[in-house]
Amino acid sequence: KSVLVLNGPNLNLLGRREPAVYGAQTLADVETICREACRTHGFTLDFRQSNHEGVLIDWIHEAGAAQAAGTLAGVVCNAGAYTHTSVALHDAIKGAAVHLIELHISNVHAREAFRQHSWLSPVAQGVLAGFGANGYALAIAALAMLPTGSKQ
């Protein structure tokens, strides 16, 4: 099965963007971490980034169809700032009934008040935040532990 890793707005700037918060690793480094974790767990990797909300929504719909067809284990999603704003992403995840792990590089709960609310958390299987780029590997490990075929 495959794992879809979705990265939202501004994550293309990783490594240059606020390194004190997000670290020195680039999105290419994150992809390498994901590829290694997928190899460990026997998944193939589909790694994507977009700055556009609608594109992310289209990809979640696609993931729902792939999961229903039995070819996708689930989604790891760092929705960036759309986490805190996007009812549309919430509805897409719910509508597609996709297994999705919400992921944040930084510990959003130790940051500004506007980062405390997530539209993804109520429709995610689980949430990982604050483990830096290695969090992606933890999220892929979490997908490997989900009971297949059922959305809890």
Task: Give the residue numbers of the binding site.
Answer: 78, 84, 91, 105-106, 115
Q: Is 150 helix (H, G, I), strand (E, B) or coil?
A: coil
Provide the edge-to-edge strand list for the sheet that holds 44-49.
44-49, 2-7, 72-78, 100-104, 126-129
Cα(43)–Cα(144) distance, rounded to whole angstroms? 9
Instruction: Specify the amino acid at residue 114.
Output: F
- The yes-or-no answer on residue 22 being catalytic is yes
| Residue 68 near ligand DQA by CB under 6 A | no
Cα(8)–Cα(83) distance, rounded to whole angstroms? 9
Binding mask 82-111 for ligand DQA (x = CB under 6 A): -x--------------------xxx-x---
Binding mask 26-65 for ligand DQA (x = CB under 6 A): ----------------------------------------
Q: Which DSSP string do the residues of 85-98 spell out, in sequence order?
A: T-HHHHHHHHHHT-
Q: Which residues contact 42 (CB under 8 A, 6 or more apart)?
A: 144
| Residue 67 near ligand DQA by CB under 6 A | no
Contacting ligand DQA (CB under 6 A), which of 50, 67, 78, 86? 78
| Residue 10 near ligand DQA by CB under 6 A | yes
Report CA torsion sign: 113, 119, 121, 122: positive
Q: Which residues are documented as binding site for substrate?
A: 78, 84, 91, 105-106, 115
By C-beta, is 76 or 98 nearer to ligand DQA? 76
Q: Interface with ligand DQA by CB under 6 A: which residues?
A: 10, 78, 80-81, 83, 104-106, 108, 115
